[in-house]
Structure 1
Amino acid sequence: MPARTTGRYVPGSLAGSRYQAFIPDPLPPDPPLDLAMHDLLSRKERADQALGRLDGITLMLPDPELFLYQYVRKEALLSSQIEGTQSSLSDLLLFELDEAPGVPIDDVEEVSNYVAALNHGLKRLREDDFPLSLRLIREMHALLLHGGRGADKTPGEFRRGQVWVGGPSPALAQFVPPPPDALDATLAAFERFLHAPASDASPLIKAALAHVQFETIHPFSDGNGRLGRLLITLILCHEGVLREPSLYLSLYFKQRRSDYYDRLNAVRMRGDWEGWLGFFLDGVADTAQQAVETAQRLLALLARDRARIATLGARAGNVGLVFEQFARRVLLGVPQVQPHLALSAPTIRAAIRTLEEMGIVNELTGQRRHRVFAYRQYLDILSEGAQPL
């Protein structure tokens, strides 16, 4: 590995306790990355190919919004679980139907805010032609911490105090990010890197470097981990690698939390950018392949259940119409289905009863009124790996 420092330490004190805070050097790394190390070129090629397949299958889906609607919510859930929330995917979907889930409401609200932040960032980049910038990051942070536990952590504003990661105090912390008076210069350099032309670094490499730098700067009082993971997908969409936000690494990071934090610290302590890149590129390749396989399994499930419904004879028409609503949103009750179909409430209830008898949907709430049904196998496939830690 090339001899490389990635920043400098500055002394600080809090309540009489002294510590060392880390200020990262601007990106890109100096000396430059050595992609001949750790077989990085072939690992990058594998990641690029997997991303290409993922982007292609997204176009092949009969309704890409169907897949992305659910997939974005799974990512939001996983990213929030890394921070300690205890929601499940069905909890989030029930919350979005205004049904009270059986978990603390703050947990589900955090996950829902993540979805809102991602959607806002993509809309600004695409429809408003807004640059990927510190201002956009602040806007997304404001949505991420809207309500719930983060409402008192200055949403949308860079921190004005010292923060630390791990441990009861900065002196005993695993890592201490830059002091507040160093944030302006560090963030300005970070924004310049975000604005650098795509030709200066491949989008994958750019996203990998930017993620570590953002986590190292830790510019907010709360929500840095979730926003740093969001930034990966945002960069890949902004740079044109992905048409839709279909790649998410939170499951990979969740399953390898110890390795993930070790790799971040190795960059800060030893300048081991190459070790981090190998870990990141393998994650992109594995995650993209898993997403392709998930999409294929969901397509097969939809085709099988549509074929089963087609055998119902005279009932097939109404049952099929109601089924397609479940294919779009997975969790629904009669009030959510009715606005989308020219069918009466009793007809919709009869169709749902048929789907329930076929084992396609099942009731979740156990209530006699305001009942909510789930497209069970679809939800099970999507929920794999998304159980709370």
Structure 2
Amino acid sequence: MTFRQPENLIKLNITPAKTAFLLVFFVMFKNRHFLNISALICLRDKHILPHIFKFSDFLNMTQWQAHIPYNDLPHLPPQQDIETKNILKHCITARAALAQLKQAAELIPNQSMLINTLPIMEARASSEIENIVTTTDKLFQSLQLDNDNIDPATKEALQYRNALFQGFQSLARLPLCTQTAVLVCNAIKQPHEMTIRQTTGTALKSGTTGKTIYTPPESESVIRDKLANWEKFIHESDDLDPLIIMAIAHYQFEAIHPFTDGNGRTGRILNSLLLIDKGLLSLPILYLSRYIIENKADYYHLLLRVTSEQDWESWIIYILKGVQETADWTVNKINAIRQLFEQTRQYVQQHAPHIYTHELLNLLFEQPYTRIANLESAGIAKRQTASKYLKELNDLGVLNEVQIGRDKLFINPRLMNLLRGNENEFTPF
């Protein structure tokens, strides 16, 4: 249908921009609610339609106020063109990097080495984004210690790791959905039971000024409606690249803010699960929180720009850059771990062939902090023999023996150095 200006408007010398402005307000007045651009989508006049989009974007932008619950958070998909030239350019680069990561992970003979190490690093970084600070060493140590000897921050970061695993395992039973989010958030926040938020008064405040910067939607029915739309968008947007879907869905989940706590960490786990659900990864090993930590101010700034200005392009490009940089970084890390594994294998076979087994070497890379009981439970050796093996590896410089409280642990120092930092070099034997 082609729109023609009424004669009386022409006599008043109404421009296309002014005509669009009047049309927008006519639709708003008629429907008695904020503009839904689909009501005007039938218009095809090339002079008027661009102005309608400009006015509708302005009105959608101005309806949001930081201190008022954002119950009018627009449903997905976004109204404007998402697959811009700039976004598609970054998407191609990110997809290529992610494909290399998937291949690198699948080439590791023992994938337990990755699943037991990289999610720990993601757990530490994602928790740090929420100012829950621990260290990589503490996390690996805590896997070998009694629960009473673990500090609260480390416990909470470990729960993130467990939540990631539970979410990963749930994909075998059901597709990514609201139920997945509830499962993940409960695992993060245990022993507290997390349900869809029913309380009022939730507001996000600036850490420096204390000023309210965003108030998420309120009422369980509104939140569930937004989540149903979020879920539908994830599974019914086949025309969009999965990485673009992930970026949009992550913003929307954070904007819905469905829980009283744990939303950020839950949302970042859902990113990994979405990539697995879409077949872009086989394991939850994308260490995206590292990129977010290094660009934390941009993360929060660009999230808010989508809300306040509908600036989807900047946000999506930020996420795509993060995927690309993180995937490249992780591929290099995996390659370094493979090289260290091979050098360690050759060194132990040469200098201690009587104790070498493939199972023993795998264990030292699956659990960078190892104890005698680990060898026993893996069926590698009885306690006395296991103690002898670990002490001999300590004497060879393959392991370092440390005393933590009453616990005696053996560290794989070269592997831990790789896991702690950005460097991919290690001291040769």
- The TM-score range, normalised by the shorter chain, is 0.7 to 0.9
Aligned to 1:74: 121
- Once the 2 structures are TM-superposed, how far is the Cα of residue 184 of structure 1 from its aligned partner? 3.1
- Matched with 1:145 is 189
Write out aligned runs for 1:100-179 (5 A). 104=151, 106-126=152-172, 128=173, 130-147=174-191, 151=192, 154-167=193-206, 172-179=211-218
Which of 66, 69, 74 is 1:21 aligned to?
69
Aligned ranges 1:330-349 → 2 under 5 Å: 330-349=368-387
- Provide the C-alpha distance between the structure 2 equivalents of 1:329 and 1:102, rounded to a whole number of angstroms: 19
Aligned match of 1:223: 262
Return structure 1 stretches of 4+ with deviation > 4 angstroms: 5-12, 100-103
Q: Which amino acid aligns with 2:194?
A: P
- The verdict on how the C-alpha distance between 1:34 and 1:310 changes in structure 2, with shifts beyond 3 A counting, is closer
SS of 2:117's equivalent in the other structure is helix
Deviations 1:273-309 (A, max 9, x none): 0011111111100000000000000001111111111
Kindly tell me: are residues 338 and 46 of structure 1, through their superposed partners in 2, closer, same or farther at Cα, counting changes over 3 Å?
A: same
In the TM superposition, residue 312 of structure 1 has moved relative to its aligned partner by 1.6
Question: Residue 15 of structure 1 corresponds to which residue in structure 2?
Answer: none
5+ unaligned residues in a row in structure 2: which ranges? 1-49, 424-429
The residue type equivalent to 2:68 in the other structure is Q
TM-score of the aligned structures, taking structure 1 as reference length: 0.87
Structure 2 vs 1, CA of residues 82 and 113 (structure 1 numbering), >3 Å: closer, same or farther?
same
For residues 330 and 278 of structure 1, the distance between their equivalents in structure 2, rounded to whole angstroms, comes to 36
C-alpha deviation, 1:321, in angstroms: 5.1
The reply on whether 1:83 has 2:130 as its aligned counterpart is: yes
Displacement after TM superposition at 1:40 (Å): 2.1
- Distance change in 2, residues 1:89/1:238 (3 Å): same
8 Å Cα contact 1:203-1:239 kept in structure 2: yes
Change (3 A) 1:213 1:11: closer
Q: Select 1:185's aligned residue among 200, 214, 225.
A: 225
Relative to structure 1, the CA distance from residue 156 to residue 379 in structure 2 (aligned partners, 3 Å threshold; closer, same or farther) is farther
1:34–1:133 distance in 2 versus 1, CA, 3 Å: closer
Letter in 1 for 2:164: L
* Match in the other structure for 1:328: 366
Q: What's the offset of the Cα at 1:365?
A: 2.8
**One-letter amino acid of the counterpart of residue 177, structure 2:** S
What is the deviation of 1:313?
A: 5.1
State the secondary structure of the residue aligned to 1:373.
Answer: strand
| Identical columns (%) | 24
> Shift in Å at residue 77 of structure 1?
1.4
Taking structure 2 as the reference length, the TM-score comes to 0.79
Cα drift, residue 71 of structure 1: 0.6
- Among 374, 379, 382, the residue aligned to 2:419: 382
Q: How far, CA to CA, are the matches of 1:171 and 1:71 in structure 2?
A: 35
**68-77 vs 295-304, which deviates more?**
68-77
Kept in 2, the 8 Å contact 1:121–1:234? The answer is yes
Report if the CA contact (8 A) 1:91-1:108 is conserved: yes
Choose 72-81 or 174-183, whichever is displaced more: 174-183
Task: For residue 336 of structure 1, report the CA deviation from its aligned partner.
Answer: 1.7
AA in 1 matched with 2:417: D
Give the structure, 1 or 2, with the largest relative contact order (CA under 8 Å, sep 6 or more).
Answer: 1
Shift, 1:360, TM fit: 2.0
Partner residue in 2 for 1:361? 399
Which of 31, 44, 49 pairs up with 2:80?
31
Instruction: Give the 3 Å change call, closer, same or farther, for CA 171–359 of structure 1 in structure 2.
Output: closer
Say if 1:322 and 1:351, in contact at 8 Å, map to a contact too. Answer: no
Aligned partner letter, 1:47 = A
CA distance in 2, matches of 1:157, 1:216: 14
What are the within-5 Å matches in structure 2 for residues 210-249 of structure 1? 210-249=249-288
1:345 deviation in Å? 2.1
1:148-173 C-alpha deviation (Å, 9 max, x unpaired) = xxx2xx423334223111248x9921
Structure 1 unmatched ranges of 5 or more: 13-18
Q: Give the one of 320, 334, 346 matched to 1:281.
A: 320
Alignment of 1:1-12 (within 5 A): 3=54, 4=57, 9=63
Structure with larger Rg: 2
How much has 1:377 moved relative to structure 2?
1.3
